Amino acid sequence: MNLKDLAKALELSQTTVSRALNGYPEVNEDTRKRVETMARKLGYAPNQQARRLATGRSMSIGHVIPRTLHEMMNPIFMEFIAGAGEAYSRLGYDMIISVVEDRQVEATYREIAAKKKADAVMVHGPRNNDKRHLLLKELGIPFLVHGRVPGAESSTSWIDVNNTRAFERATDLLLDLGHRRIAFLNGLENMDFAIRRRAGFERAFQNRGLAPDPSLMRQSEMTEPYGADCALEMLRTDKPPTAFLVSSMISAIGVSRAISLCGLEIGKDVSVITHDDALSFLPNSGEVPIFTCTRSSVRYAGRRAAELLIEKILPDPDTRIEEHLEAELIIGRSTGPRQR
């Protein structure tokens, strides 16, 4: 069942049928009705490939995910992707995901441009010295960055959590509770988000004329053992931290395991604040969440990003979007006043 068949069945021209289906204004309302009814009856659906070829738009958005980035941020990606996916299907777009070796990223983007595989792309996990935005501009592919490319904040479109502010507020809370020896388990500090979080952490200290202890600041991929190992090591020193600020729930779980292993109680002997991306398989909600956290739903970010890309950037590729998502600071059971 294609357009020609449908037109024949209706004794109309393809042109009219196409116009009726695509909501062109010049079609007679009765005709449109007839066309729509018949289309439904015969189960007609326009062939995607044909439409794409004719319009020159692929009606899909590309997500090129470098392997190493994926390794690190797997669960966060998936949640973002899920959010974006909702918006895409609502707006009639397809999502194309390519997980590729890091050195293949450029080739993949070039291929997307050359073969017209996607109308726009989403850029994930910007880091220091990230060059992807330059390539995409050269290739003329519209894009939106989830996060910010250091140094290109004002020349690219982006949507990002206010990481600096979130971590400053979290640190402030710990300082207000009397904590001074605060451990900071950050993500890898070649990632933009980690750099910003660190800046927030340090700023909170500076604002009070204090300084964080560098020996309590770590950076790594945010796995569970990372949290546990760091915490164990720190808690076993002479001058253990009384609080932890952790960049991810997964590592925070590790920290909490370490605290238990040391025979200490979380929220009492040791305070913990974590960033909570609101991942579905790591719920931290309920009336009083387990972890005090800075929370920002990655899934929402995905949905919003997809909308912005399709509704703002695609219609006018020169628009620049800057959208801040504020993280909430939510008090849970893992924080309390300094004891020792």
Give which of DNA, its own copies, none residue 97 binds (C-beta under 5 to 8 Å, depending on kind).
its own copies
Q: What are the structure tokens assigned to 80, written together?
A: 């973002």
Angle at 185 between CA 64 and CA 334, to 5 degrees: 115
CA distances from 317 to 105, 250, 308, 314, 320 (A): 22, 37, 11, 5, 8
Whichever of 50 and 261 has its CB closer to DNA, that residue is 50
Residue 88 C-beta: closest distance to its own copies, Å: 8
Whichever of 202 and 277 has its CB closer to its own copies, that residue is 277
Q: Which residues are CB-contacts of 45 (< 8 A; sequence separation ≥ 6)?
A: 1
Give which of its own copies, DNA, none residue 329 binds (C-beta under 5 to 8 Å, depending on kind).
none
Q: Which residues are CB-contacts of 117 (< 8 A; sequence separation ≥ 6)?
A: 58, 60, 62, 96, 111
Residue type at 324 in one-letter notation: H
Within 126-241, where are the H helices?
132-139, 163-176, 192-207, 224-235
232 binds its own copies (CB under 8 A): no
48 binds its own copies (CB under 8 A): yes
269 binds its own copies (CB under 8 A): no
Among 281, 315, 316, 340, binds its own copies (CB under 8 A): 281
Give which of its own copies, DNA, none residue 318 binds (C-beta under 5 to 8 Å, depending on kind).
none
Among 206, 260, 319, 339, binds its own copies (CB under 8 A): 260
Give which of DNA, its own copies, none residue 26 binds (C-beta under 5 to 8 Å, depending on kind).
DNA
Give the residue from 312, 228, 242 showing the smallest Cα distance to 270: 242
Contact between 171 and 216 (Cβ < 8 Å): no
CA distances from 275 to 45, 112, 205 (A): 45, 34, 19
Give which of DNA, its own copies, none residue 281 binds (C-beta under 5 to 8 Å, depending on kind).
its own copies
Binding footprint of DNA on the chain (CB under 7 A): 2-4, 11-16, 18-19, 21-22, 26-28, 31, 44, 46-47, 50-51, 53-56
79 binds its own copies (CB under 8 A): yes
